[in-house]
Structure 1
Amino acid sequence: MALTAFPISPAKPLTAITTIPQFPHNPKTLILQQCKTTRDLNQVHAHLIKTRLLLNPTITENLLESAAILLPNAMDYALSIFHNLDEPDTLVYNIMIRSLTYKLSPLEAFLLFKKMQESSAEPDEFTLSSILKACSKLRALREGEQIHAHIVKCGFKSNGFVENTLIHMYATCGELEVARRVFDGLPERARMAWNSMLAGYMKNKCWDEVVKLFHEMLKLGVGFDEVTLISVLTACGRLANLELGEWIGDYIEANRLKGNIALVTSLVDMYAKCGQVETARRFFDRMDRRDVVAWSAMISGYSQANRCREALDLFHDMQKANVDPNEVTMVSVLYSCAVLGALKTGKWVEFYIKKKKLKLTVNLGTALIDFYAKCGCIDSSVEVFNRMPSTNVFSWTALIQGLASNGQGKGALEYFQLMQEKNIKPNNVTFIAVLSACSHAGLVNEGRNLFTSMIKDFGIEPRIEHYGSMVDILGRAGLIEEAYQFIKNMPIQPNAVVWRTLLASCRAHKNVEIGEESLKHIISLETPHSGDYILLSNIYASVDRREDAMRVRDQMREKGIEKAPGCSLIELDGVIYEFFAEDKACPHLEEVYNATHDMMKRIKEAGYVPYTADARLDAEEDEKEASVSHHSEKLAIAFGLIRTLPGTTLRISKNLRVCTDCHNATKMISKVFNRQIVVRDWKCFHHFKEGSCSCNDYW
């Protein structure tokens, strides 16, 4: 063995690691337990060289284990020791391959394994297990198959430890059938093997197989553990299998396993994904300690249940608890911010990402693109997209959809073209986004060509959403008869959404006959909601058929169909304020209504005329003007005007389609008060500026 002395600078005298009266003849405990830093190890290493104890293979292995595995940031030191060994044995190679796999580079581990094969050291079960894990990390299926052949050739086929990592390798590389053959071929299947197979199915999102395999375990009386239950609970959440999930929950309670934070977190996640958010919260609140995964599971549960305000409230509690969020937390928070239009909170998330120098992953970047787009800040979406180190079809689709819904249809088509130039293949959701762009921009021919190209060039079979988008394109352009015939010729049965899209176009273009036909089809397919009747009533009113308009409203009353209350949200200084139409219980009631009265007075002086057909059904004639002036978005806008500085952009989110009167009023407000106002209704964005709207008065 070549001995190398490590120079020590006299300017920095070393301090003793610990007070050791005499250096032990067998320093294993000293090396593995008392060496806490590289500097400590350096002193021990120097002494071993001096005393020639380094020639003892066991002591060398202890030194390597400490440097390569136990100490942080000491891998280079371990490599320097390793490269100076004349003939490393199997145990030394095992230490280095294992540490390279987990700490530095699985590729380096694989290269070292090849070097080992060329030496006199023979791989054992620990070598093979470590190198199979390296193959898993690299998704190196071909190399993994070669190692499998070596395992069979050298007689390790019956070794359960090796076989488990083999199952894991095949499952990680997507070869589930091969993994299952290895599993089924085991002479004895220990619990670890079952867990490896369950983890493989889980990794590949084969949730049904996870549940089936668990039932097989129960049938055969195979003992399971917490690792098993975490896999099965994850599957139960994805399958909404509440019955099995509750059974596991009862098992956890009965066997006092609630101290396992990972297991209880999986239980919280399962209940939340099965729609049992209150039950999930009870388990969450009872946890003795909560790590970032637990907080993220509960926040995600609220987000997925569209209880977004509660998601953000819990996120603020997480910050107070000094728990740093991870990527999963941030994606859920950004989704909730997007739904609520909570721009300030979402901007804080991006600031946090930059401050912590976190990688802008595809998932996180896509969530940011979607968030900014849904807050009406489409320029910020483009900026995030351009900063992302890597993108995928979902990133491109989110940007294209954002541009489309914000009235930038031509920009959306430009990115769709660029996407193809970058060899990113669009999926069916991308085509929904790009057809939506054509609809908003009035690009009828482009829409027709894209619909054809989708089938012909990309082999994507149109779904009901694509047909609905084509109806919207034609209807928006006033081609009502063509849109009607398009529906009649569809190869699949049109649903109520398709007919509702046509009905909305009939309202915009005052086509009574096809509007009536559309409502009949909606009624035959599902229970219509108030918006369907109101659209037809508005069509009658637009052609002066007042009696028919009132008849439709009377039908609504007779059938007990009530119009859903309008609700609008505005975020000011990080606080979300909620307003309902004619709200008498809103915070700052007097202030809000006084501000609304003054706002309406000023726009009337500028030429605004109330469209009282949008008043509530039971309003008397002399109440109708007051009724429309107290719609939820007007209350929110008035509140925003008095609570923000002049020139500040106001951002409103509404649960319903913007009515004609509010659309007319908001255009006038933007002009009179010199404000940009962004209103997001359930269909699209309206960017109001200087008396006009980005939707060109069709929505």
Structure 2
Amino acid sequence: MDYALSIFHNVDEPDSLACNIMIRSLIYQHSPLGAILLFKKMRENSAEPDEFTFSSVLKACSRLRALREGEQIHAHIVKCGFKVNGFTENTMILMYASCGELDVARRVFDGLPERALMAWNSMMGACGRLANLELGEWIGEYIEANGLKGNIALVTSLVDMYAKCGQVDTARRLFDRMDRRHNVAWSAMISGYSQADRCREALGLFHDMQKANVDPNEVTLVSVLWSCAVLGALETGKWVEFYIKKKKMKLTVTLGTTLIDFYAKCGCVDSSIEAFNRMPAVNVISWTVLIQGLASNGQGMRALEYFQLMQEKNIKPNDVTFIAILSACGHTGLVDEGRNLFTRMSRDFRIEPRIEHYGSMVDILGRAGLIEEAYQFIKNMPIQPNVVVWRTLLASCRAQKNVEIGEESLKHITTFETPHSREYILLSNIYASVGRTDDALRVGYQMREKGIEKAPGYVPNTADARLDAEDDDKEASVSHHSEKLAMAFGLNRTAPGTTLRISKNLKSLYGLSQRNEDDIEGI
């Protein structure tokens, strides 16, 4: 591209054809700003733009969400009395919609003498991206009223729009009524289920797609792998990788990165690294996903090695990369490394720490038992600590039996919101762990006075407990870790020698994890 630009800049008076080629090339090379600047220079040199120039530069504006520049180009088209074609108008709709100006996009759309499929797709795509269900429903009603439901491409776009707006059941009803479905329709519906965290339905529909002998495309496979990662469905994910190899599909950055994430979440670290090494091209997201995968599987030192290798390959880490690598330090007790990385973040990479990075440091220090240092770190933060940071410290106080800082943490939590039962229970447990039973009971009374009820979650059947156990012990004896229950279930329901894979559904912030429910897959 640099060589092409050097030739172009040596042309005395480049015509519109040459300018169009360079503008399109800059957009293709992910340099939309360069495309806009080239258009500006083109006008300064009095080169006349044509329909292809306008459509390309409007596309650059939509990529950058550059509303002001897009409006200027629109004004220029009107001022010059330029007769635009459907393609230019479609890109104009896309530009306004991408910038969040759906009302303006609709006015342009309403002014079209003929609404081509491309214009409909732009409007529906914008409704999906911006989750504007009201406008999307208007489009759906218009399509139905004008007898356009026989157009497979239009209905497919409508399915995709409803799915992206969170109306998955509406999308499925439309999908089921389609006479013919190509792979884009299947992909839109599977992606809709995946994005709505209805991963079992996504995989179920994928199996129906296979029975219908419809070949999946890259978007389908990305959604399926994501669903497999959430459910821990290792065998289905392996089949997807086999399909990719069999069909000799290119392991693109998106597809390859999703494959890395899938294997990491299934605990198959070596397979995750192998997928990474097979990718012809990787970006900062690919590196970050791999580092996070190593971190979540307890391989902090290996994560640090890849972080170092990433820099040797001249891939600049971003703020999310630092969240991943700090998480690796926290889970493996690498306190000094965590401190060093936190310092280097702003000093060497010019990345200002966000609240997530400060929270990660509190987690690193808290897990290592450095409660006092973690507390002072929070007090010295240049930005206001949020409730999650104090909650992280409170959880660390529970593990280290630090009453004083635990009390201080709860006090700060109450300034943000009414504490949940879990915060009071944490403090009560801290009191109990140091023998301050009266204070532990007092916390329980405070909860009742404030009307805070303990969320029941799993209510144990204490009738199955040991008869000689105290009430509290009875509850504990039948409510141990749910992964143990999953393991017991698997052992009872599978043949001897079967490998059991237990997938924990974890939602975590800065190291504070909340276990929801467990799933199990027999391999």
Q: Which residue of 1 aligns with 2:502?
A: 652
User: What are structure 1's unaligned runs of at least 5 residues?
Assistant: 1-105, 115-123, 567-580, 585-596, 602-609, 613-618, 659-679, 687-699
Paired residues for 1:342-491 under 5 Å: 342-491=233-382
Pick closer, same or farther for the CA change 1:537–1:273 going to 2, 3 Å.
farther
Pick closer, same or farther for the CA change 1:650–1:521 going to 2, 3 Å.
farther
Q: Which residue of 2 aligns with 1:565?
A: 457
Whole-Å separation in 1 of the counterparts to 2:65 and 2:448 = 60
Instruction: Indicate the SS of the match to 1:491.
Output: coil
Q: Which residue of 1 aligns with 2:521?
A: none
TM-aligned CA deviation for residue 185 of structure 1:
2.9
Aligned partners of 1:504 and 1:535 also within 8 Å: yes
Whole-Å separation in 1 of the counterparts to 2:457 and 2:370 = 32
Q: Which residue of 2 aligns with 1:627?
A: 478
Q: Which residue of 1 aligns with 2:492?
A: 642
Whole-Å separation in 2 of the counterparts to 1:407 and 1:358 = 32
TM-aligned CA deviation for residue 518 of structure 1:
1.6
- The higher-RCO structure (CA 8 Å, 6+ apart) is 2
Q: Which residue of 1 aligns with 2:108?
A: 217
Aligned partners of 2:96 and 2:105 also within 8 Å: no
Equivalent in 422, 426, 436 of residue 535 of structure 1: 426
User: What are structure 2's unaligned runs of at least 5 residues?
Assistant: 9-14, 519-523
AA partner of residue 267 (structure 1): L
Whole-Å separation in 2 of the counterparts to 1:405 and 1:290 = 39
Q: Which residue of 1 aligns with 2:223?
A: 332
Q: Which residue of 1 aligns with 2:193?
A: 302
Aligned partners of 2:292 and 2:328 also within 8 Å: yes
Whole-Å separation in 1 of the counterparts to 2:146 and 2:135 = 16
Deviations 1:154-209 (A, max 9, x none): 9x75x65x55555467669979677765543331334432113334667xxx3415
AA partner of residue 194 (structure 2): S
Aligned partners of 2:23 and 2:57 also within 8 Å: no
Q: Which residue of 2 aligns with 1:45?
A: none
Aligned: 1:236 with 2:86: no
TM-aligned CA deviation for residue 433 of structure 1:
0.5
AA partner of residue 100 (structure 2): D
Aligned partners of 2:109 and 2:119 also within 8 Å: no
Pick closer, same or farther for the CA change 1:430–1:391 going to 2, 3 Å.
same
AA partner of residue 487 (structure 1): I
AA partner of residue 182 (structure 2): D
TM-aligned CA deviation for residue 325 of structure 1:
1.3
Instruction: Indicate the SS of the match to 1:628.
Output: coil
Aligned: 1:192 with 2:115: no
Pick closer, same or farther for the CA change 1:450–1:480 going to 2, 3 Å.
same
Deviations 1:235-279 (A, max 9, x none): 222222222222222222222222222322222222222222222
Rg: which structure is higher? 1
Q: Which residue of 1 aligns with 2:11?
A: none
AA partner of residue 370 (structure 2): L
Whole-Å separation in 1 of the counterparts to 2:109 and 2:42 = 33
Instruction: Indicate the SS of the match to 1:516.
Output: helix
Aligned partners of 2:203 and 2:227 also within 8 Å: yes
Q: Which residue of 2 aligns with 1:276?
A: 167
Aligned partners of 1:163 and 1:182 also within 8 Å: no
Equivalent in 89, 95, 100 of residue 208 of structure 1: 100
Instruction: Indicate the SS of the match to 1:208.
Output: coil
TM-aligned CA deviation for residue 545 of structure 1:
3.0
501-510 vs 631-640, which deviates more?
Answer: 631-640
Q: TM-score, normalised by structure 1?
A: 0.62
Aligned partners of 1:582 and 1:632 also within 8 Å: no
AA partner of residue 93 (structure 2): L
Aligned partners of 1:136 and 1:168 also within 8 Å: no
Pick closer, same or farther for the CA change 1:280–1:207 going to 2, 3 Å.
farther
Pick closer, same or farther for the CA change 1:583–1:302 going to 2, 3 Å.
farther
Aligned partners of 1:444 and 1:473 also within 8 Å: yes
Pick closer, same or farther for the CA change 1:221–1:134 going to 2, 3 Å.
closer
Aligned partners of 2:460 and 2:475 also within 8 Å: no
Whole-Å separation in 2 of the counterparts to 1:392 and 1:556 = 49
Instruction: Indicate the SS of the match to 1:651.
Output: strand
Q: Which residue of 1 aligns with 2:12?
A: none
Output the aligned Cα RMSD: 4.1
